[in-house]
DNA sequence: TAGTGGTCTAGACCACAAA
DNA sequence: TTGTGGTCTAGACCACTAT
């Protein structure tokens, strides 16, 4: 896929300060010429970068590089898993719990699988640079992800599923809310019961449309911040 | 723009249950034929619907209509303002404070304007069906939005800026976090100081790239939930 | 093997910004 | 008026699914 590679190239170049002078990307035409691709690919690539908040295009003027506000921010879009995302930081993952259970009716409904389906139930506590960041309560469909052991769970499950198993992760939907921490979860975050938490409930799907994973993640309100760019579009 | 209109049409049709039988959209080719547009427009339209979480495409198979999990959820993407979004609910907006101030150095940096620029500073408390939903602390650049009075602030500012002023809102970036409520904000939400809040810091831009608005919004943790679909893409 | 979504090209024309 | 991004078309070919 040329346009994804191009997006990656441009992203690297922006990071390396190649366009620092003008704070603009070259024109679509120049990029197309430079990388020997069509305008279609250029626009697709820029689109990706726009959604990541790296550039914004202004019709008639150019494609401007954005100032970043994301110091320390996690991101809801560019989701390659924590381990991949925070490469500058030390991410530590502690596996609190790991077992295979059979889905009861409620969990089966949540996981969109049949009751009795074997599921991994995993609890992990993660820290960034030694500071507690999040506690994850996760189910994985074992019919899709056959093997998860302690060692795999301590690493990047995202990477494992994608690279080792070769599965094609396509999209996830999330529900975001805030809530009071339970005593149990608070203890894992070095916080008090009743303290606030950012809560993200996540359902992840393969490109076949099959759900393989549902999770609830509690984030440390003192350290976790999320960045998100919203493109605004008037459909009515 | 044909593709936006097409997206709107398909969205309406999905809502009306037109595709209920198969739970799938017609093929790209059929949609193109049916609406007398090219494949480009069809794909752009479906893309929008995908990002809104309404459908998901499976290569080689079809475009499937998604079950919704969004009961009562607000959304981070489809942002046409609360008033437009929750049309089934009664949204009440109370203007707590409205004045014009001159930007000091700190606010000027935040708003990316010159110190001394006149800004509206507005505090609004919003409720849904009588239940407190959010408290917004907002700055508007008065050089861009010349007039905001009590009546306008009580309605949909989003709609006003777009329809009445004819300005082209393009994107917003948001930082999401959770925090403890101050006494003042808690009182406006019928909650206690120290209770959790979902906090969204928002910066909104015109299509010219100019920032016109910065806000911090505190949401009632008991009633506010946000839906978000993440498309996953491997750039490396 | 046929059907369907995904990528890519070349080229026309429109809309908006800047000089 | 020129430059630049946005929309649109027609058509080729690839990748994956279903049968």
pLDDT in tens, A214-235: 999 999 999 999 999 888 877 6
pLDDT in tens, A147-160: 999 999 998 888 88
Predicted TM-score (pTM) of the model is 0.93
Same-domain status, A61 and A149: no
Domain boundary among A43, A65, A87: A65
pLDDT in tens, B5-55: 999 999 999 999 999 888 999 999 999 999 999 999 999 999 999 999 999
Tokens 């206690």 identify what position? B192
Contacts of A21 (CB under 8 A, 6+ apart): none
Same-domain status, A144 and A199: yes
Average pLDDT over chain A reads: 92
Say which CATH number the domain at A37 has: 1.10.10.10
List B residues 45-84 in contact with A (Cβ-Cβ < 8 A): 48, 50, 53, 56, 58-59, 61, 64, 69, 73, 76-80, 84
Same-domain status, A15 and A85: no
Same-domain status, A169 and A98: yes
How much of chain B, in percent, has pLDDT values that exceed 70? 96
Residue B173 placed within a domain: yes
Domain that residue B33 falls in: 3-65
The whole-angstrom distance between B112's CA and the closest CA on chain A is 11
Residue bearing the bigger pLDDT, B84 or B24:
B24
> From CA A141, how far away is CA A125, in angstroms rounded?
20
Number of domains observed in the structure of chain B:
2
Same-domain status, B130 and B26: no
List B residues 207-236 in contact with A (Cβ-Cβ < 8 A): 207-209, 219, 221, 224-236
Sheet holding B118-128, edge to edge: A74-75, A226-231, B169-180, B196-206, B211-220, B131-141, B118-128, B91-102
Nearest to B209 among A64, A84, A179 (CB): A64
Please tell me the least confidently modeled range out of A44-48, A70-74, A132-136, A197-201.
A70-74
Residue B232 placed within a domain: no
Residue B107 placed within a domain: yes
User: Do residues A142 and A114 touch, judged by C-beta distance below 8 A?
Assistant: no
pLDDT at A166 (0 to 100): 84
Domain boundary among A14, A31, A65: A65
B169-180 and A131-141 strand pairing: unpaired
Residue B144 placed within a domain: yes
Please tell me the least confidently modeled range out of A177-181, B111-115, B161-165.
B161-165
Domain boundary among A65, A88, A104: A65
Taking residues A22-49, report their average pLDDT. 96
Same-domain status, A107 and A26: no
């Amino acid at each position: 896929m040329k346009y994804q590679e191009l997006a990656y190239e441009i992203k690297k170049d922006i990071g390396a300060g190649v366009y620092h002078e003008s704070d603009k990307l070259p024109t679509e035409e120049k990029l197309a010429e430079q990388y020997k691709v069509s305008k279609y690919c250029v626009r697709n690539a820029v689109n990706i970068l726009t959604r990541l908040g790296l550039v914004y295009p202004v019709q008639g003027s150019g494609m401007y590089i954005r100032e970043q506000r994301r110091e320390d921010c996690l991101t809801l879009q560019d989701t390659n898993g924590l381990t991949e995302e925070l490469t500058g930081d030390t991410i530590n993952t502690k596996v609190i719990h790991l077992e295979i259970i059979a889905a009861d009716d409620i969990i089966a409904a949540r996981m969109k699988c049949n009751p009795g389906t074997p599921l991994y139930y995993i609890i992990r506590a993660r820290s960034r640079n030694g500071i507690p960041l999040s506690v994850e309560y996760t189910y994985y469909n074992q019919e899709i992800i056959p093997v998860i052991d302690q060692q795999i769970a301590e690493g990047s499950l995202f990477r494992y599923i994608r690279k080792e198993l070769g599965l094609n992760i396509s999209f996830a939907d999330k529900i975001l809310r805030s809530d009071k921490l339970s005593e149990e979860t608070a203890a894992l975050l070095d916080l008090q019961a009743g303290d606030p938490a950012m809560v993200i409930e996540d359902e992840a799907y393969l490109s076949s449309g099959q759900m393989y994973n549902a999770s609830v993640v509690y984030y440390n309100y003192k350290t976790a911040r999320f960045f998100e760019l919203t493109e605004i579009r008037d459909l009515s």
